Structure 1
């Protein structure tokens, strides 16, 4: 840090503090990019880049269809040879940045080139981008903007403040994320990281294993330092900034040796000149106070919007009915009655949604079956207008697989009357309807599984990735507006878009998803469950799905569809309408069986 301050002083004698800060920032950006490009180029000689599972051929599938122009640009810049050429160009730009004169146009061109290529790298290899790459891009972008602004001091100051606030946000978010993790609070996270192959170190792991108290102290110190980092602007009128940056830099330096995270050191230290400059500049302006006040106002606005959003979710479409189940959950559901002749003799179709999905996801199928079949759609506890918990104030209760299944069973018994039912489950809902069918027995005439999960052992399937409690808390605080609109939302009908958007940004949807993720492993599909199914099963899946275990089902092999992304059957209109036709055909088949049974025995299933 002393060397760092001497460099600042040396530059400051020949340049203004503002210019010296910008030059030092650019120098650190250059060093970081040199290290990054040399690392990529050296590794490219040892492996074929496009053979890696997280490389562009797979990542390009995540791009939305409407971004065809971006796909073409990225395709044109992808490939092993093009990758090496681009990294060589980045290396040349970084060296130029280190050697070019203060006001050289080459410096501006080099910065712009690094910024553009960093954006291309992130979009192509987003899975592999880490916090250092993201922060470095922000520093590059701000530095380029300052250069393009010429000698306008306001633009330069705004860019330096942007870098400072981005760096501060990075530290604070990392700290509060650790604070929300039980492993960090208990001190178990550090040994766990050091024992991994990717970020581990045998020497460091053995040391923390022998000194558990020191490991816990290091975890607590790291978390506290990151959480308190925003105080850099308020403590000591900016003169205490080195006391914040010295341990932060030492932290990155240690990580570069123990975990091989060398790029983190250079990426984060590239923001330190701006932090030193703005921390001291902040005493001359009201910007830190204004930033704090703006943050507080934004939180209040977000909370207000969250309350309004929740009210709209609880209002729904207005055609929902309600049932309080045996578990105490208050379930909202919609019933659509057929207008076809003899429709009352046909089975009732009850639909079960997948993980974190509401009734609104079934819009295409609902419209395809409207007037033709009698249907029931519902939301599980916590989704949409459904409530999770018991009593007037909906006191939360632990969610169990039995609770999820019993709610569906209660709903079927409440709505079916004397008719038999056909249960339709999508994704995780497939395991739920199979378990409900076993409890309902003869009341079920057929079961349809849409995009069911892979068949697993009876001991339990893979668990759905958990939803972070910090994420749920941020949603409650009103950060739902920061969520980008999901790609599937635009594929559904325009009517109902506002309600779907509100539901997606509703904190309780994510809270319900967090509960369900904990029990998802016990709601999978296994061979014993399939073998004991009381009725014939109809399976509809994507052509690339793992259908091992479903191929021998009666009465026919699975229906394989195309024209949609895996997991998005309900959102692609042609595929959803085809699935609706398959469901309707299943109802027709079982209705004929029921009619034949009634004409022979004169009795209905009750």
Structure 2
């Protein structure tokens, strides 16, 4: 408690002095950095082979994105070098904390802040510790403090303090806004979920919340209101700002005790002297420079305008689609964009994609089919995806997607040509229903690629919960892209694996709201029609052969394996009635070049078998 009283006193004193504010912020951050390195020195086993911070494992992702940096950091891959690294970091933290005054000491702190900034960035790449945000917060403070001191005047210090203030306030505000998008937080059950975990949980608190659900809901609502409203400190005045800081510090202290996030306390406390300084009327009256927030506002306005223009241009490109696509209007009024190759072969394969996916996902498979020169093939985007347009006033059911596919098959199949329908994930349910809808003898075979079983959500609690998680994730993503923020999304791993032309178009759709809106519409139909007491039954279709291909990651889940086996026992042509399993995930079954090549070979073998029947 004495420590926190001192922190509170330092924060209040910082409100009227830029130097005190800067000293308080960098000192709290220095404690964070020193504690981090002391913890690293005391847990040497975590750097051993196969342990949490094994560099040979950590460098994998870095070597892919920044190979030069990875090679430089290889020099620290020894026990001695690692000890020296953390000892230096501790020494620099102590240097910041020394109480000397004057230009010489300011120069020492400048050098120490700069050193801690560089070492902090290196440590981010070399350690999984600090992922709770404490090390990131300290890194922000040391970088801003170093730049502020390097400027050598009051305006530079004010700019640095404004940066830290804005960073701190946004860290709370954004945290609250993101939580609001999550179903468990809105329902008031997220905290008990966290308390049940081994890493951040606390059995005693979990038991209390379990016995008193109203207490958890009230605590969650209070947390969301507190975090989401934090930016109000800039308009509410210094008294309200001080109140918010007091609540925040108490919150961090509780997290330190309950969740074991000790450095979280010091790291985020480092923002509050800057927040106190920038929200204080006293500091404004002492010639405080407010240039940075004005510049930041102008930059933000420019960025908003830029992202809006970018979103409009992206939408136009999405609606135009690649030049090689053709269009077909269905009886329902949908306009489907489709591509492929038709050379008059005996068999034509229609490929149907998953939820929240476009025909670009089949890029490797269609390339392989094209090179085989043995089958015709068609890919398309369902209504609402890519350049495909939904019918006006379309309420949408799964049968609507089936009707569109039936029209596409009817229009593009030559007389006497054999039809194979292949569906990935949800696309598997679409092709199953389409085969039942098309005239007898129209479909020669069905290929299920890690496909949805119509009963999996109704008969499995884990599958039903997975469906809810997908819904929550897509709502968050959909909100982001509809707000025009798609340009800021990372490059998804599945898209990076696709062939270049397909990767470009897939990413364009990924960053556009149309794909997420269409996927959300289809997901609602899945929940309404499949998550029911009496889901549709699968049945063997006379004269229709089947191939069931599953990903090993999917088969690792007992419930998923059971449903894949059910599809295989009904439709599969394997002698043992089991699915063909590839060492893959749900996505890499299509997006990994080597795996997709093996999948294509299986499809071509299946085509040959149906043609020989």
Whether TM exceeds 0.5 here: the answer is: yes
Q: Does 1:486 align with 2:492?
A: yes
Residues 284-433 of structure 1: pairs in structure 2 closer than 5 A: 285=290, 287-288=292-293, 291-292=296-297, 294-296=299-301, 298-317=303-322, 319-324=325-330, 330=334, 332-339=336-343, 343-344=344-345, 346-370=346-370, 372=373, 373-387=375-389, 392-394=392-394, 396-397=395-396, 408=405, 411-416=408-413, 418=415, 419-426=417-424, 429=427, 433=431
CA offsets, 1:454-508, max 9 Å, x none? 9x98934743642153442222111111113335545555546654342121023
The question of whether the paired residues in 2 share the 8 Å contact of 1:545 and 1:566 is answered with: no
Equivalence for 2:534: none
Change (3 A) 1:10 1:323: closer
**189-198 or 502-511: bigger deviation:** 189-198
After TM superposition, the structure 1 = structure 2 runs for residues 101-250 of structure 1, keeping only pairs within 5 Å, are 101=100, 103-104=104-105, 107-124=109-126, 129-147=131-149, 149-209=150-210, 212-236=213-237, 238=238, 240-250=240-250
Q: Is the 8 A contact 2:588 2:595 kept in 1?
A: no
Any conservation in 1 of the 2:32–2:134 contact (CA below 8 Å)? no
Q: Secondary structure at the match of 2:143?
A: helix
SS class of match (1:332): strand
**In structure 2, do the counterparts of structure 1 residues 350 and 496 end up closer, same or farther at CA, with 3 Å as the change threshold?**
closer
User: What is the aligned partner in structure 1 of residue 268 from structure 2?
Assistant: 268
Aligned residues of 1:435 and 1:529 also touching (Cα < 8 A): no
Distance 1:565 1:74 in 2: 31
Mapped partners of 1:448, 1:499: distance in 2: 25
TM-score when scaled to structure 2? 0.76
Deviations 1:505-541 (A, max 9, x none): 1023234445666759979xxxx97999942427487
Q: Does 1:475 align with 2:475?
A: no
CA contact (8 A) 2:401 2:430 kept: yes
CA spacing shift, 1:290–1:68, aligned 2, 3 Å? closer
CA distance in 2, matches of 1:185, 1:484: 26
Contact kept, 8 Å, 2:319 with 2:386, in 1: the verdict is yes
Contact 1:282–1:288 (Cα < 8 Å) also in 2: no
Which residues of 2 match residues 85-104 of structure 1 at below 5 A? 86-99=85-98, 101=100, 103-104=104-105
**Contact 1:541–1:558 (8 Å) recurs in 2:** no
SS at match of 1:234: helix
Give the whole-Å Cα distance in 2 for the aligned partners of 1:580 and 1:421.
Answer: 16
Matched, 1:535 2:545: yes
Equivalent residue, structure 1, for 2:509: 503
**Alpha-carbon distance change, 498 to 210 in structure 1, aligned in 2, over 3 angstroms:** closer
Q: How many residue pairs align between the two structures?
A: 571
After superposition, the Cα gap between the structure-2 partners of 1:445 and 1:56, relative to the gap in structure 1 and judged at 3 Å, is: farther
Normalising by the residue count of structure 1, what TM-score does the alignment of the two structures yield? Answer: 0.77
Query: 1:378 & 1:561 partners in 2: Cα distance?
Result: 25
Offset at residue 80 of structure 1 (A): 7.2
Q: Which moved more, 1:350-359 or 1:278-287?
A: 278-287
- The 1:349/1:473 distance shift into structure 2, 3 A limit, reads same
What do residues 535-566 of structure 1 show as CA deviations (whole Å, max 9, x unaligned)?
2427487899969878996458988989x998
Q: What is the RMSD computed on CA atoms of the aligned residues?
A: 4.5
Listed as ranges, the matches of 1:21-32 within 5 Å are 21-32=21-32
Q: Which runs of 5+ in 1 are unaligned?
A: 594-606
Cα 1:124–1:359 shift into 2, 3 Å: farther
Whether the 8 Å contact between 2:181 and 2:476 is mirrored in structure 1 is yes
Q: Aligned-pair distance for 1:387?
A: 4.5
- Quick one: distance in 2 between partners of 1:490 and 1:337? 24
Gaps of 5+ in 2: 532-536
